[in-house]
Amino acid sequence: MTQPALAAVAPTTPPLAEAILDTLIHRIGKDAQAALPHDWLAATILTVRNDIIERWMASSKQAHAAGAKRVYYLSLEFLIGRLLRDAMANLSRTDEVREALASLGVNLADLEGEEPDAALGNGGLGRLAACFMESLASLDLPAYGYGIRYVNGMFRQRIDNGWQVELPETWLRHGNPWEFERRESNYRIGFGGEVVGDENGDIHWMPDESVEAVAVDTPVIGWRGARVNTLRLWTARARDPIRLDRFNAGDHEGALAASVRADTLVRVLYPADSTPAGQELRLRQEYFFSSASIQDIVRRHVQYFGDIRTLPDKAAIQLNDTHPAVSVAELMRILVDDHALDFDGAWEITRATFGYTNHTLLPEALESWPLPLFERLLPRHMQLVYAINAKILREARAQGQDDGAIAAISLIDEGGERRVRMANLAFAGSHSVNGVAALHTDLMKQTVFADLHRLYPDRINNKTNGITPRRWLFESNPGLTSLIREAIGDAFLDDATKLADLKPFAADAAFREKFEAVKRANKVRLSQHLREVMGVRLDPDAMFDVQVKRIHEYKRQLLNILETVALYDQIRSNPDKDWTPRVKLFAGKAASSYHNAKLIIKLANDVARRINADPAVRGLLRVAFVPNYNVSLAELIMPAADLSEQISTAGMEASGTGNMKLALNGALTIGTLDGANVEIRDHVGADDIVIFGLTAEEVAEKRAAGYNPREAIAASRELQQALSAIKGGVFSHDDPGRYAGLIDGLENSDWFLCCADFDSYAQAQRQVDARWTDRAGWNASAIRNVGGVGWFSSDRTIGEYARDIWKVM
Ligand SMILES: *Cc1c(COP(=O)(O)O)cnc(C)c1O
């Protein structure tokens, strides 16, 4: 037989198109006529995935053959977003796929929009985990991410009459073509029961309940396909899915109770950002995924290397905040009970294997569990926690620490109801404890961990967060990426610090104009989207001023709203002044139980409705609250932003990463000296960032001195007017008292110092207005921001973890 006959059938169909069509027919079971958009999407993903599988296997084989040390990143959250565009871009196949689909009459951009946004995380902490996974693969480091495959991830946010409404996100509705269920990789996870000793003195934990954890793997592709790592998410299955005896006796639901309990474990992501859920189910989730991951790591190590005692040479386990901290006790249990190591030997191995990353110093966010709950659910781990505690308290006493320090170091909080402190467990059980920005790391040493730091002075170190430039520049902002390539060549594609070569172009008038044109096109794109989804009309020539992040009092959306109200008042009082046209964009979700955060969302919407409808404003100020902030929306907003609001109370934002994404896309920052803002200022230069407000030190002093917001209010006419307008119901005619409580809180306590920082913030905003008027100056500043923040690539961050903590580079 000869080949030409085939080619004659479809002379112009590229081979990739044939492959997609073949997948559509044979894997999805639809032909081109019957296929719905999600069918085309699945066929495209499965076809692209084929290319990944071989690299994936090659990556594993190579790591195995080299006897390489592996990195294990344990995180209860992975905010990965859509994967198709990322996969195509990292494999350099985007154009090829676009053309193949076009030859089949399918538009790639439409398909990309069909892909569900995998939101297995709340905010920055989960997105960091996703950026880290991508950088690990890009740096060719063998790594696994471990987490939970939530059936419903982060809730979908709808705004109904200005109020947040939470709806379940059904991202698995059409299945997930990226994942592979590994039924053979399953582990038994026990809960409850009792601990018994046998005649040999060996300890046995006899759980009275158990479920099976089953691995579901998703490939993570590095830049230029460098390597493919695995994101292994655990799902739960009942060990006895159906009790036939009960079923046959007529108890149909009772027969399935174990299945329902297993499903419940992986059903929802707790929608709380920086406050612990405080639920038994949450502790069960934490132990479930920690135990499955540690069992998997130990199994792999013993299988490859034989001797459990070499674990720290071949495995580095990073705990993303305290959510996986029970892993410390779980590894101890496995080493002592299953591998018969003595306690001290096991402790040495454990500490050498773990590293812990702290993400918050907010007291309400430091996880601790009521001791009776911990003991009931994990009786063997409770014993081990006591034994670990005895050991570290002995060390502290030997060092001469006083009773106050001993109480602070203890793994058990003895003040009031006794609780197990997960941060102390993670700290004690790790050889490295890192903060996520320089200021945050300093504060760790001075505050929450001061006594532990004195006991183990070499343990705390800093690793300032980063973001992957692939997703947050190349993929989300192709216009700017092309422009940068024209100007400075391609070196920055592989080394983001090379973006520094862009800085001299700030002085080039022709380049500035092209830069502004790219920004404007991104603003038009966002405006079109917002017109479609929420019917709002925005002027792309106005300044796009954005505050997009979780809604939290410490992030101070309220300060921004107060200033917006004050500006509105001024525009109405001085209609003839040459006001800078502004669009104020807010987006973000509030934890469902967080009353004030939800009220702030309502306030933003109420203020938007009033201002946008007031003809006196003449379009000089527009306010919009964009619903359902997620990774995909962030990818649209970041490239279109002119001004980045990073205005948290100094000392309260551990790092922030939204600040980095916005600067990388050429937004100027207005911000406090908090988190990574401090280092952003160092990298872009003090002239290209607008800093205002109290420093972390001043905040601490003010609070210690008994801060009274009424003094700040008395000193500011603008603030008085804004507060009384909101309190008096100007924005809530339907319910004039709606915001009385919120404003009372500001007037009487104002823990987050909105009032203290108001004047400084308002002045900074007027300085921003003046800068905007000087278009050349503004664009030059924006260009220097892009050129200045290459250091915030997560490749740099991961390089530091790899060298200093994991010792794999
Ligand atoms: C980057 C990002 C965050 C974190 O934003 P911060 O401003 O650092 O709090 C939260 N959510 C999403 C969807 C993000 O992409």
> Rounded mean pLDDT of the chain?
96
- The DSSP annotation for 35-101 comes to --HHHHHHHHHHHHHHHHHHHHHHHHHHHHHHT--EEEEE-S-EEEE--HHHHHHHTT-HHHHHHHH
Q: Is 320 within 8 Å of 129 (Cβ atoms)? A: yes
| Torsion sign across C-alpha atoms 626, 631, 633, 638 | positive
Distance 472 CA to ligand 1 centre (A): 12
Question: Average of pLDDT values for 571-584?
Answer: 96
Percent of the chain with pLDDT over 90: 94
For atom 7 of ligand 1, the residue with the nearest CA is 658
Confidence label for 1 from pLDDT (cuts 50, 70 and 90):
very low
Most ligand 1 atoms within 8 A of CB, residue of 154, 550, 652 to mutate: 550
* Closest atom of ligand 1 to CA, residue 646: 7
- pLDDT reading at 578 higher than 70: yes
- Edge to edge, what strands does the sheet with 432-435 contain? 180-191, 209-221, 228-238, 143-148, 70-74, 315-320, 354-357, 432-435, 460-462
Q: Is 204 within 8 Å of 198 (Cβ atoms)? A: yes
* Closest atom of ligand 1 to CA, residue 588: 11
* DSSP 8-class letter at 310: G
Confidence label for 160 from pLDDT (cuts 50, 70 and 90):
very high
- pLDDT reading at 10 higher than 80: no
- Cα torsion through 730, 733, 737, 739, rounded to 10: -50
User: Hey, how many other C-beta atoms are within 10 angstroms of the C-beta on 489?
Assistant: 11
- For residues 483 and 521, give the distance between their C-alpha atoms in angstroms, rounded to a whole number: 13
* Closest atom of ligand 1 to CA, residue 634: 15
For atom 15 of ligand 1, the residue with the nearest CA is 631
Distance 128 CA to ligand 1 centre (A): 9
Distance 647 CA to ligand 1 centre (A): 14
Segments in 638-753 forming alpha helices (H)? 658-664, 677-684, 696-704, 709-714, 717-727, 740-748
Question: Average of pLDDT values for 342-347?
Answer: 98
Total-model pTM:
0.97
What 3-state DSSP class applies to 545?
strand
What is the reported pLDDT for 6? 43
Q: Is 156 within 8 Å of 668 (Cβ atoms)? A: no
* Closest atom of ligand 1 to CA, residue 656: 8
Give 673-730 pLDDT, tens digit per residue. 999 999 999 999 999 999 999 999 999 999 999 999 999 999 999 999 999 999 999 9
**Tokens coding 227:** 């390597």
Q: Report the topology of domain 539-780.
A: Rossmann fold (3.40.50)
- For residues 301 and 305, give the distance between their C-alpha atoms in angstroms, rounded to a whole number: 6
Give 411-436 pLDDT, tens digit per residue. 999 999 999 999 999 999 999 999 99
Percent of the chain with pLDDT over 70: 99
For atom 5 of ligand 1, the residue with the nearest CA is 658
Q: Which residues are catalytic?
A: 359, 549-550, 555, 657, 661
- The DSSP annotation for 174-207 comes to T--TT-EEEEEEEEEEEES-EEEE-TTS-EEEE-
* Closest atom of ligand 1 to CA, residue 81: 13
Give 179-197 pLDDT, tens digit per residue. 999 999 899 999 999 999 9
Q: Is 123 within 8 Å of 78 (Cβ atoms)? A: no
CATH 3.40.50.2000 residue ranges for the chain = 68-83+118-465+799-806, 539-780
Distance 656 CA to ligand 1 centre (A): 7
Distance 186 CA to ligand 1 centre (A): 33
**Tokens coding 450:** 């001061």
Question: Average of pLDDT values for 222-232?
Answer: 96
- For residues 809 and 793, give the distance between their C-alpha atoms in angstroms, rounded to a whole number: 17
For atom 4 of ligand 1, the residue with the nearest CA is 124
Q: Is 725 within 8 Å of 731 (Cβ atoms)? A: yes
* Closest atom of ligand 1 to CA, residue 633: 13
**Tokens coding 97:** 């796929």
Distance 634 CA to ligand 1 centre (A): 8
What is the reported pLDDT for 12? 65
* Closest atom of ligand 1 to CA, residue 555: 9
Distance 18 CA to ligand 1 centre (A): 39
Give 626-653 pLDDT, tens digit per residue. 999 999 999 999 999 999 999 999 999 9
Q: Is 48 within 8 Å of 115 (Cβ atoms)? A: no
Closest CA to 128 of 263, 395, 261, 321: 321
Confidence label for 5 from pLDDT (cuts 50, 70 and 90):
very low
What is the reported pLDDT for 11? 52
What is the reported pLDDT for 365? 85
Confidence label for 508 from pLDDT (cuts 50, 70 and 90):
very high
Distance 550 CA to ligand 1 centre (A): 7
- For residues 456 and 794, give the distance between their C-alpha atoms in angstroms, rounded to a whole number: 28
Which residues lie below 8 Å from residue 290, measured CB to CB, with a gap of 6+? 74, 324, 326, 327, 330
CA angle 136/227/106 to nearest 5° reads 105
The position carrying tokens 């003094």 is 711
Binding pocket residue ranges, ligand 1, CB within 6 Å: 123-124, 127, 549-550, 629-631, 634, 656-658, 661
Give 591-634 pLDDT, tens digit per residue. 999 999 999 999 999 999 999 999 999 999 999 999 999 999 99
**Bridge partners (DSSP) listed for residue 216:** 181, 233
Distance 636 CA to ligand 1 centre (A): 13
Most ligand 1 atoms within 8 A of CB, residue of 589, 657, 670 to mutate: 657
Closest CA to 750 of 777, 717, 778, 713: 713
Closest CA to 290 of 319, 316, 267: 319
For atom 1 of ligand 1, the residue with the nearest CA is 658
CATH code of the domain occupying 68-83+118-465+799-806: 3.40.50.2000
What is the reported pLDDT for 201? 83
User: Hey, how many other C-beta atoms are within 10 angstroms of the C-beta on 488?
Assistant: 18
- For residues 133 and 72, give the distance between their C-alpha atoms in angstroms, rounded to a whole number: 10
- For residues 784 and 805, give the distance between their C-alpha atoms in angstroms, rounded to a whole number: 32
Confidence label for 3 from pLDDT (cuts 50, 70 and 90):
very low
Helices 509-534, 478-488: axis angle to 10 degrees equals 170
The position carrying tokens 């195509």 is 88
For atom 10 of ligand 1, the residue with the nearest CA is 123
- Cα torsion through 51, 52, 56, 57, rounded to 10: -30
- pLDDT reading at 272 higher than 90: no
Question: Average of pLDDT values for 38-58?
Answer: 95
**Tokens coding 61:** 């084989």
Distance 633 CA to ligand 1 centre (A): 11
What is the reported pLDDT for 277? 82
Give 111-129 pLDDT, tens digit per residue. 999 999 999 999 999 999 9
Most ligand 1 atoms within 8 A of CB, residue of 120, 467, 548, 792 to mutate: 548
Confidence label for 364 from pLDDT (cuts 50, 70 and 90):
confident
Which residues lie below 8 Å from residue 383, measured CB to CB, with a gap of 6+? 195
What's the Rg (C-alpha) of the chain? 28
- pLDDT reading at 400 higher than 90: yes
- For residues 221 and 122, give the distance between their C-alpha atoms in angstroms, rounded to a whole number: 23
Give 320-341 pLDDT, tens digit per residue. 999 999 999 999 999 999 999 9
Most ligand 1 atoms within 8 A of CB, residue of 78, 120, 127, 632 to mutate: 127
* Closest atom of ligand 1 to CA, residue 655: 8
Which residues lie below 8 Å from residue 766, measured CB to CB, with a gap of 6+? none
